[in-house]
Amino acid sequence: MNEPHNPYSPPAAAVADAEAPARGEPPFAVKLASKLLWLGLGIAVLTQLLVLPELQRNPFFVPTVIGMVVSLAVNAWLFFKIGQGRNWARIVYLVLILISSPVLFISVKAIFARSTFEGVAVAAELAANVIALYLVFVPGRAWYRKSAPA
């Protein structure tokens, strides 16, 4: 027997998720940017380890060290996600760099006065970050706009 049509019944069509196209291998610019970001993180770890003895005289030593570790962990997570092709991660990292760069530029003179090695390391880290951001936003931008793998 033919049932009457119910206008409120769900459609009978088969529904499935669309297959997302594979992102593919990252381009050379993104691979280089990822290496530069990890290099910068390594430099940051080294410089922070070098200033630990000096920080021990600080009454806020423990919160400072916790902040340093959390900062390094967040950066490492963002670098991992940037390497995976997550567009939001490169944008978040750009915002973090834009927020922290003015403070860093202001304090560079004091850092160099305290230690030439530390000043060069901070300058190298900043240069690596800026070059990496250029690479992911200019030559590598198309790779970030492609669909992520399912």
**What are the tens digits of pLDDT across the range 89-112?**
999 999 999 998 888 878 888 888
Render pLDDT for 19-49 as a digit per residue (tens, 0 to 9). 655 678 899 999 999 999 999 999 999 988 8
Q: Does the structure show a pLDDT above 60 at 88? A: yes
Query: Whose CA is closest to 132, among 27, 37, 41, 26?
Result: 37
- Residue 20 pLDDT: 55
Phi/psi at 149 (nearest 5 deg)?
Answer: -65, 150
Rounded to an integer, what distance in angstroms lies between the CA atom of residue 28 and that of residue 140? 8
Rounded to an integer, what distance in angstroms lies between the CA atom of residue 5 and that of residue 71? 61
Rounded to an integer, what distance in angstroms lies between the CA atom of residue 93 and that of residue 83? 12
Q: Which residue did the predictor score with more confidence, 115 or 11?
A: 115
Alpha-helical regions (H) of 1-150: 28-55, 61-84, 87-114, 116-137, 141-145
